[in-house]
Structure 1
Amino acid sequence: MASSSEIYFELVELSGRIVAKGTWSATLLANRLYQCAHLAKPGHRCRLLHGSREIKPITPLAALDLSLGICIQVVWLFSCAAARHSQSQAFAAIKADGSVVTWGDARGGDSSAIAPLLTEGVVQVCLNIRAFAAVKADGSVVTWGDAVCGGDSSSVAPLLMEGVVQVFSNNQAFAAIKVDGSLVTWGVATCGGDSSALAPLLTEGIVQVCGNMRAFVAIKADGSAVTWGGSGSGGDSSAVAPLLTEGIVQVCGSSTAFAAIKADGSVVTWGDAGCGGNSSAVATLLTDGVVQVCGNAMAFAAIKADGSVVTWGHAGCGGDSSVAPRLMESVVQVCGSRMAFAALKADGSVVTWGQAGCGGDSSAVASLLTQGVVQICGNAMSFAAIKSDGSVVTWGDAGFGGNSSAVTPLLTQGVIQVYSNIQAFAAIKADGSVVTWGSASCGGDSSAVAQLLTEGIVQVF
């Protein structure tokens, strides 16, 4: 065991898999634990729980109650690279052997044309509305689906043969970060697939990319941000350019706007005013203390360090929170559907607001959302919540997965992660199997590949 100046911890997923273990100096903050967790799933965010208590990145390790044990539970949230729900109409699952299984809409769900390239070595899959891109362990990229949307990457093929570490997408284009910090883009030119106009700014130092429907934002190592793509969707950030030269640590998109968190906890917004690009109505609340921003199609919700939530954008889609008194403290995660939000509180309860038909009204399952929830996932019109006992609760539009009664017996226990695309959900269970529901044509029906989803699934995109 560690000495009195050091603390031994094990970071463990809900499945029981150990993500990391070791000793850390008691003088450090818990952000070191978060860094170790993020190495296990690059591009994903998580919550860390010690017993029933949430550990914040700023929590001193010395402040943790060691009587609760050495186990730190890792609860994976949605990808920070895609802060909104996926727009895809298909799914791709990576298995433990590095192979990929796809299903759903043929534009991406059918990967037969490049199947031999997906039998091993895949470490990440990124998808947009009609195409997929897979990063392999050797740093190469394989693409398929609609050619125009990036399924055909032949125009940049020499740049995707090695050195790629992560791929990001918006609705119709892709952007790949290479090991040297340069960026490669392809897909619909007007949506960011062509970044030649600012190529000199993308040759080095890129550390993160965020996309919305038609534009991209890249964060550089010096904290500056570079934007391109549809000008009305945030691709043109000239109105706030002086605020994007340094200190940017995270960017989130709505459908046609962006919100950036700076190192001082302030927020900068730009793009379509009606979709959250104009945050002037709540500007005084966004000058400091913001730690996370989530976007749906039409609005944003920001969590502050005190656990309160600030919303802006289209009022009827969650930009005006009708449940504000319940969002003044203890919020630890916010998730968006197309026009609604769901917030997870530290006590495991859930608060929803926005368009009722998009999951903003959770009254039908309210009694199931008062405690024990550890993760929320949303698609365009509905939500799914995982509880600490491994069961799943769903609400929202029935055809989009808000009604999971067809697979209820499979969702009563053992679920460790839920993923979504635009109209369906896929849940990974502790035994490595996958359960799907929602729109059949968008992957809610996985019967065609059922035999490939019974074991060994480690991630779904």
Structure 2
Amino acid sequence: MSTLRPHRRKSLTAAALTGSLLAVLILSGSAAGSPDPRALRPGIPGTAFTWGSNVEGQLGDGTTVEQSTSPTPVCGAAPCTDPLQGVIAVSGGGGHSVALRPDGTVVTWGDNTHGQLGDGTTTNSTTPVRVCAVGQVAPCSAFLDDIVAVAAGAAHTTALRAGGTVVTWGLNEHGQLGNPITTDSSTPVPVCLTSDCGYLLNDVVSIAAGAEHNLALHTNGEVDTWGDDRHSQLGRPTSTGQVSHVCASDPFDYCRPLQNVVSVAAGGDHSVVVRLDGTVQAWGENDLGQLGDGTTTEQLVPVRVCDTGETAPCGAFLSGVTAVAAGDKHTAALRSDGGVRAWGGAGRLGNGTGDGSTTPAAVCAEGATAPCADLLSGVTALAAGGGHSVALASDSTVLTWGGNASGELGNGTSGTAGSNAPVHVCAAGQSAPCDGQLTCAVAIGAGFSHTLAVIRP
């Protein structure tokens, strides 16, 4: 049996980047000591736009019209007379959406079957509602106001507070709320380190939410996980879903915590991190090669992601990575040169083919076909959804690739074919063939079958 040792408090000097199941937010971690909300809540305020599936109201446009194939503004409130403005970050879940505002407040919309909107009810909402404060019951009179990052899981939501603690709400079937309660919660509860909640998870600078599990990156470069562990996505030899360290390896009697992590992402049932040296490690479910180690074998603790073109057993490993995004069955990595590598399930990699890959493949330039002569470049942020990926380009446009059954690519079309190479997202309200592109984007997010973006004024 492994021994999980207490947290070490040695600080790691590095920027921290966070991703989500279905979403990635660019977040700067504090350089040392306690988290600094000024560093953790960057972003240019803008208007929230969404596209893709809307069967649960996750587009926030005041309707449940089945889908939108190009961007539509999220309503500011009901009735829908003005768009939702003053947003700095967005995240998408299975059927709900989350937006963070500069004042630290959070609004949500869409599916609320398990309380994942955090408004004290289990009533779906097609327009944004405010997330209640910890300890409130509906109708809430106080609301969260110190949040610096948000991440949406399949049916739960996770938020990082300015002081470095974490709160969660929504589905709790597999302990994904990280709290001693055993039922769902429609308002935020703190993530705890002990069964009596006498000690809270703290010193966190970055978070990620998978389908039913979570990751938290600490100031010292170590990672904690909690929630569902049916596919080893918590990254440790023990089967407990309580909050605890990710192990660096699988020794017989001792868990040495994984260290020097600067970026975390959570997929459907797998987890991915970037190390300080720019290499990538992953663990959990691997049925379609989403761990990138050249195999389809589930991994209990982190394994290194192979380099492009390698086959198992790999002799070279991916490097120069600054951030990662994890989808349901695929993973994408952003390199320091602005290029992107992807691996996992077929039709999700953007490599010009409809094939999957158990090791990283280079994402092609817009519209290219294999073998691609040109590769995607100039990318500044990534997000990954159920079967699609999203990239924010340095020119503030947005590109997508992968599945498009519900219009989640935003290129004015929908259907089962999707796109094997990146396509530009159309300007708001357009349909194919679009004569304009979405511009002035400053943040992106991806739900299971919908996509989000923040557009600056």
**TM-score for the superposition, normalised by structure 2:** 0.52
* Distance in 1 (alpha carbons) for counterparts of 2:199 and 2:258: 12
> What is residue 370 of structure 1 aligned with on the other side?
374
How many correspondences in the alignment? 318
**Is it true that 1:81 corresponds to 2:79 in the alignment?**
no
Which position in structure 1 is the counterpart of 2:435? 409
Deviations 1:140-177 (A, max 9, x none): 33333222151134288233432222222322211222
Structure 1 residue aligned with 2:58: 108
Match of 2:107 among 137, 142, 149: 142
Q: CA RMSD in A?
A: 5.0
**Higher percent of residues as helix:** 1
Structure with higher Rg: it is 1
Matched with 2:236 is 237
| Runs of 5+ consecutive residues of structure 1 not aligned to the other structure | 1-30, 36-42, 46-79, 88-94, 276-296, 302-310, 429-456
> Which residue of structure 1 aligns with residue 96 of structure 2?
131
Does residue 1:323 correspond to 2:309, yes or no?
yes
Cα deviation for residue 393 of structure 1 reads 7.3
Kept in 1, the 8 Å contact 2:225–2:234? The answer is: yes
- Give the corresponding residue for 2:357: none
Inter-partner Cα distance in structure 2 for 1:161 and 1:329: 38
| Deviation, structure 1 residue 334 | 6.8
Counterpart selection for 2:347 from 347, 351, 357: 357
CA deviation after TM superposition for structure 1 residue 214, in Å: 0.9
Call closer, same or farther: CA 1:216–1:397 in 2, change over 3 Å.
Answer: closer
Distance in 2, Cα, partners of 1:371 & 1:245: 33
**Paired residues of 2:272 and 2:324 also in contact (CA < 8 A):** no
Q: Aligned equivalents of 1:266 and 1:372: distance in 2? A: 20
Measured at CA, do residues 361 and 149 of structure 1 come closer, stay the same or move farther in structure 2, by a change above 3 Å? farther
Change over 3 Å in CA distance of 1:426–1:122 after alignment to 2: closer
- Given that 1:330 and 1:346 are in contact with CA atoms closer than 8 Å, whether structure 2 keeps it comes out as yes
Provide the residue aligned with 1:299 in structure 2: 290
Distance 1:223 1:420 in 2: 26
Instruction: Calculate the TM-score normalised by the size of structure 1.
Output: 0.52
Partner of 2:268: 255
**Which one-letter code corresponds to 2:435 in the other structure?**
P
Distance 1:425 1:329, change over 3 A: same
Match of 1:210 in 2: 208
Distance in 2 between the 1:413 and 1:368 partners? 26
- Match 1:314 to one of 296, 304, 329: 296
Q: Does the Cα contact within 8 Å between 1:99 and 1:120 map onto a contact in 2?
A: yes
In the TM superposition, residue 265 of structure 1 has moved relative to its aligned partner by 7.1
C-alpha distance in 2 between matches for 1:330 and 1:223: 18
Q: Which has the higher contact order (CA 8 A, sep 6+)?
A: 2
Deviation of the 1:127 alpha carbon: 2.8
Q: Which amino acid aligns with 2:448?
A: I
**Residue of structure 2 in register with 1:184 after alignment:** 167
Q: CA deviation at 1:369?
A: 5.1
Give the direction of change, closer, same or farther, for the CA distance of 1:351–1:262 in structure 2 (3 Å limit): closer
**Are the structure 2 counterparts of residues 264 and 238 from structure 1 closer, same or farther at C-alpha, using a change threshold of 3 Å?**
farther
